[in-house]
Amino acid sequence: MAEFDPHRPSTIDRVAPIAAIAILAAVPPVAGLLGDPFLIKVATRVVVFAIAAIGLNLVVGYAGLVSLLHAGLFGVGGYVVGVAAWHEFNGEALGLGPVAWAGTADLAITLPLAGLLAGIVALVTGVVSLRTSGPYFLMITLAFDQMLYYGAVALQKYGGEDGLQILSTITFAGRDVSARTPFFYLALTILAATVFLLGRVVGSRFGVVLRAAAENERRVTVTGIPPYAYRLTAFVVSGVVCGLAGALLASGQQFVSPADMSWVRSGDLVVMAVLGGLSTLWGPIVGAAAFVVLELVLSSWTQYWQLAFGAIIVVVVLTLRGGLADLVKLATQGRDAR
Amino acid sequence: MTFALFAEQLLNGIQFGVTLFLMASGLTLVFGIMNFINLAHGSLYMAGAFLAAAVQAATGSFLLGVLVAIPATAALGAALEFGLFRRFYARNHLDQVLVTFGVVLMANEATRLIFGPVPLRMPLPEALAGSIEIVPGLVYPTFRLVVLAVGLAVAGLLWLVVMKTRLGMWVRAGSSNRAIASAMGVDVGLVFAGLFAFGAGLAGLAGLMAGPILAVQVGMGEPILILALVVTVIGGIGSIRGAFAAALLVGLVDTFGRVMLPPALGSMAIFLLMALILAFKPKGLFPVHG
């Protein structure tokens, strides 16, 4: 199969994700040497947004569908962690019909749950949105994102518009992972797993169909393959991944709020996926790193950092059509072409 | 629900609907004809409100604020079209989303930088500040009635221009087939720029009319942008008629949803309506292209 695939990954595409994860893995010891534990916090943020951007990229980059829903799915994951921890901390059972659940702050339970719920929301919204295409799809996902946002604002019990503080100690399978370093490595492990699994997905027949449908839907359809089913699957998978990332962000900053679900955040995620370069697995990691570092550097210079950030987006879109990955590709093109 | 309350909500719904129409008509024309997704349309709405409030604060005249803000917003729209967006008509939707998203971020921060984080006040002149008793038992704010009338007048004018003039013919021709309209000698570039500026002016008008009712603050353009997008999608992208019908529908459903449903459902009613309509009519109520 692979030799017929025009999108066959280049050497760079195979090495870059491993290199990116290796560089990130080295952050905690380096931060220890420099005596700057804040670096670990920054790296955690990079990892979490990289997971979300990779998930979103399956839809935007491979399936060619611009979704502005994903901050909502991200937030669904975050609220699963937040609400479960709230019930655990307050000793008040969460009534789910006939079942009462005591809640938990254990990520071994809440992470899968976050992925599951985000996946279900992605399925329900995807069934409707994917009936449409192009600009309609974009606007519908935007509207669904807004709907989830209002849904979170309406959760008066869990802080409403102000958001929900997570007061419990975050654990994973009983072990305390609330400290910076263990939490970072937990997130990094999930990033590595995501990269590996999605790498298998996009390299498979499934991935080929997804990209083919983005390039020429009619041709795929007459081959006897229904693009809808493939797109819906990709949409749900990306929803699950974003849900996991949202759960990690909420656990890491011990806070979740509707602000993380606004459509502007969805735009940020798309920017991360695109800034790094679409249709590669490692592009979104670069994009997430660039986003977090820019956010940090610009906001330390001026409180009006989004003015500069907006200008950077405009310039990048005007000049670099393939995102930052283009720079690397340009630099290595000579070798790779042969 | 008493009759007076019902009538008041009905008027509120229609008034909100026509405001949405002012936003959505620009959006749907720009989209239908230039095939351009403009997320920065909400920023023009915000610009209209801020310009009017600033001029009013400086001169003390509400009318002067209105008279300056509308052409100024249109000029701002023309500048954006000429300087930036024009390059993106031929690009894919993803690039359009990104560039307009970048502009939204810049517009919000620039506004915060210039006017500060505190919402501006837009006091109404005395003639508009009061209420009128329309029928016995139904008292309604004068300004909201004016908004309603202006919205309906603009909708009527737009219909006249689009259906009865040569300019409107170009617009319709461009909307149904850009390439052929251009081949038949329509100066598409000029029509596009004019149309964009016109849509911007309408967004500015919607913004300045919302100013005295809501707060003039940074980020005010985003909720209305999203509702206007919903209107555009429900109505069918590119269809003025569809935009008008959908704007009234959305205005009414939103207003009554907030009064009659529990708060969580009330703010989501619109989106449920949209999902329902699109599940059956994926191209909206009044599809333009095939």
Residue A91 phi, psi dihedral angles, 5° rounding: 60, 30
Helix (H) or strand (E) holding B205: helix B188-210
- How far does A67 lie from chain B, in Å, by closest CA? 10
CA distance A213 to B25: 33
Eight-class DSSP state of A179? S
**Is residue A316 one of the residues assigned to a domain?**
no
Range of the structural domain that residue A193 is part of: 2-261
Distances in whole angstroms, Cα of residue A227 to Cα of each of A56, A63, A231, A234: 18, 10, 6, 11
Name the residue in chain A with its Cα closest to that of B107: A307
User: Can you spell out the DSSP letters for A200-253?
Assistant: HHHHSHHHHHHHHHHH-HHHHHHTT--HHHHHHHHHHHHHHHHHHHHHHHHHHH
Residues in chain A within 8 Å Cβ distance of B230: 139, 143
Model confidence at B106, pLDDT cuts 50, 70, 90, reads very high
| Contact across the interface for A153 and B267, Cβ inside 8 Å | yes
The neighbour count for residue A4, using CB atoms within 10 Å, is 7
Structure tokens at A255: 């806070």
- Residues facing A176 on adjacent strands: A171
What pLDDT score was predicted for residue A240? 96
Local confidence band at B237 (pLDDT 50, 70, 90 cut-offs): confident
Measured between beta carbons, the chain A residues lying within 8 angstroms of B114 are none
What pLDDT score was predicted for residue B76?
Answer: 95
Taking residues B103-129, report their average pLDDT. 88
Place of tokens 């997430």: A288
Structural domain boundaries in chain B: 3-280
Average pLDDT over residues B199-228: 90
Q: Which residues of A touch B (CB under 8 A)?
A: 60, 66, 68, 125, 128, 131-132, 134-136, 138-140, 142-144, 146-147, 150-151, 153-155, 263-264, 267, 270-271, 274, 304-307, 309-314, 317-318, 321
CB pairs under 8 A between A and B: 126
- The C-alpha atoms of residue B88 and residue A226 are separated, in whole angstroms, by 31
Confidence of residue B28 (pLDDT cuts 50, 70, 90): confident
Vertex B89, ends B86 and B90: CA angle to 5°?
125
What's chain B's average pLDDT?
87
Residues 144-183 on B with a CB inside 8 Å of A are: none
Domain range B3-280, its CATH number among 1.10.10, 1.10.3470, 1.20.1070, 1.20.120: 1.10.3470
CA A101 from chain centre, in angstroms, equals 28
Separation CA A219–CA A187 (nearest Å) = 40
Please write the tens of the pLDDT for every residue from B126-185: 778 888 887 777 788 888 889 999 999 998 998 888 888 888 888 777 777 777 877 777
What is d(CA B41, CA A112) in angstroms, rounded to the nearest whole number?
Answer: 39
- Alpha-carbon distance A44 to A40, whole Å? 6
Quick one: pLDDT at residue A6?
A: 55
Sign of the dihedral defined by the CA atoms of residues B109, B113, B119, B120, in that order = negative
- In a domain, residue A145? The reply is yes
Give domain status of residue A123, yes or no. yes
Q: How far apart are CA B277 and CA B93, in angstroms?
A: 23
CB under 8 Å to A197, separation ≥6 — which residues?
Answer: none
CB within 8 Å of A43: residues ≥ 6 apart: A24, A27, A28, A31, A184
For residues A276 and A323, give the distance between their C-alpha atoms in angstroms, rounded to a whole number: 5
Residue A269, CA distances (Å) to A66, B11, B101 in order:
11, 40, 12
Strand stretches in B116-189, DSSP E: 131-135, 138-141
User: Which amino acid, residue A224?
Assistant: G
Query: In 3-state terms, what secondary structure has residue B139?
Result: strand
Average pLDDT estimate for B212-240: 87
Using alpha carbons, select from A51, A44, A114, A119 the residue that is nearest to residue A84.
A114
- Say what the pLDDT of residue A5 is: 56
Q: Is the Cβ–Cβ distance between A43 and A186 less than 8 Å?
A: no
DSSP bridge pairs for B133:
B139
Question: In chain B, which among 6-45 make CB contacts under 8 A with chain A?
Answer: 31, 37, 39
- What's CA B258's distance to the chain center, in Å? 21
pLDDT-based confidence at residue B45 (cuts at 50, 70, 90):
very high
Work out the minimum CA distance from A108 to partner chain B, whole angstroms: 31
Kindly report the nearest CA distance between residue B157 and chain A, in angstroms: 28
- The alpha carbon of residue B247 is apart from the nearest alpha carbon of chain A, in Å, by 15
Q: Do A136 and B263 touch (CB under 8 A)?
A: no
ipTM over 0.90: no
Angle among Cα B269, B271, B274 to the nearest 5 degrees reads 110
pLDDT of residue A332: 57
Q: What is the mean pLDDT for each group of 10 consecutive residues in chain A (338 residues)?
A: 57 81 88 86 93 92 89 94 86 76 82 94 92 83 89 86 85 83 92 91 87 86 88 95 94 90 90 79 88 88 84 84 60 46
The count of structural domains within chain A is 1
Q: Which residues contact A193 (CB under 8 A, 6 or more apart)?
A: none
State the pLDDT confidence band at B99, using cuts at 50, 70 and 90: very high
